[in-house]
Amino acid sequence: MTMRAPSRGFTLLEVLVALVIVGTALSAGLRAVGSLTANSSNLRASMMATWSAENRLVQIRIGREFPEVGRRSFPCPQGDLNLMCEEEVFTSPNPLLRRIEVSVFDVDNPGRRIVKLVQLVLRPSPI
């Protein structure tokens, strides 16, 4: 009787277990990358919406405007994003001030406000 030398290498079961472990790790990595991509897109939209709202508020300051009380909407696209700005002007307890709120919405999803900025504007003094 001849004795066989112990076999070297991995069994099929060991290889399959290793493949399951590697597959699980790779799928978790892909899920993390997908989540980062979605967050990046949301951050970009938020930044662009903030720029749109700031643009309108700067226009008011530079133009020394004292807007009428009320609400108005206007398109305010940034890059490839179709955005809609909504400006609301309120009176304040001080008659020399107006409160201006600029909200920015995505045209494709008008129920979702991306950003809202608020500013007080002083009535320009007559020159």
Domain CATH code at residue 93: 3.30.1300.30
Question: Which of the two residues, 7 and 68, has the higher pLDDT score?
Answer: 68
Alpha-carbon gap, residue 77 to 110, rounded angstroms = 14
Question: Which of the two residues, 10 and 117, has the higher pLDDT score?
Answer: 117
**pLDDT, tens only, 81-93:** 999 999 999 999 9
Give the chain's domain count.
Answer: 1
DSSP letter at 60? H
In a domain, 9, yes or no: no
- Domain, as residue range, for 51: 18-122
**pLDDT, tens only, 36-49:** 777 788 899 999 99
Global pTM value:
0.70
